Amino acid sequence: MIRWTVVVPFKGAADAKSRLSGSLGDDERAAIALAFLVDTVSAVARVAAVSSVIVVSNQPGLAGTLGAVLGQDPGRADAETHVIADPGGGINTAVAAGLAHARAAAPDTFAAAITGDLAALRPADLAQAFALAEAAATSAQVLNERTGCSAGSRSEPVHGRRTFVPDREGSGTTMVSFAPGADAPTHFGIGSSAAHATAGYSPLDVPAESSLRLDIDDADDLELARALGLGEASRAVLARRVTPRSSDPSTPPAPAPGGGRGRAH
């Protein structure tokens, strides 16, 4: 089995999830952002191919929080989870720090970086994306051999060895992945999908309905994620709060779970 290391940047803090600020205060948004991260990491850790999860953050107490949650997960694979310091400078600098840490520990594994707000992520969807990335890297290797290029050479075709998954809207990015030796700067931010394509990353043919493409930035995303199935931590936080109103003024706010009956990448 091909092994993977997954990097997850997490800013946290009181200014998290600013697009939910119309209905939620700073403390509530910080709690929801943390819950999104916990559910994202929990889903990643359930993928059998994942050997290590590296969270890049300066959030106090984060290692203990993740350790407590993952330690109680009977479906968790044997993945190790580490929290390393965010050097500052934004999400791409954080991803670079995580990748450097990953390569120092396991240079021959595949590596991915995903956003920390995939709170409805299904492990099977992530595993499917990994399989697509592995196939793309294999195809690139075959091409290299036919053209006489060696892995890591300047003349090596980039296509297939660096890949990305667009978000559901198609303009952002929820995951980038690298074959061994194919690391490069990432371009998370506004218009990141086009930026990654321009930089030589190949888009993976992940279905539009995949949970891997649903990052939660606003209330509409949150409603979609709830319909798909949020993770336990996010459900618990929302059960104590009123779900923020949809950005569509004609849509009434949905009731919080258990109360009677969410783009910048």
Give per-residue pLDDT as tens, 116-173: 999 999 999 999 999 999 999 987 665 555 555 554 444 444 568 999 999 999 999 9
Q: Is residue 254 part of a domain?
A: no
Q: Is residue 60 part of a domain?
A: yes
Q: Which domain holds residue 19?
A: 4-239
Q: Is residue 250 part of a domain?
A: no
Q: Please provide the average confidence, as pLDDT, over all residues in the chain.
A: 85
The pLDDT value recorded for residue 24 is: 65
Q: Per residue in 142-162, is it b (16+ CB within 10 Å) or e — as a string?
A: eebeeeebeeeeeebeeebbb
Section 52-65 average pLDDT = 95
Domain count of the fold of the chain: 1
Q: Is residue 252 part of a domain?
A: no
Per-residue confidence band for 210, with pLDDT thresholds at 50, 70 and 90: very high
Q: Is residue 80 part of a domain?
A: yes
The enclosing domain of 45 has a CATH number of 3.90.550.10
pLDDT digits (tens, 9 = 90+) for 8-22: 999 976 667 766 666
| pTM, entire model | 0.85
Q: Is residue 247 part of a domain?
A: no
Q: Is residue 11 part of a domain?
A: yes
Q: Is residue 140 part of a domain?
A: yes
Tell me how far apart the alpha carbons of residues 41 and 120 are, in angstroms, rounded to a whole number: 11
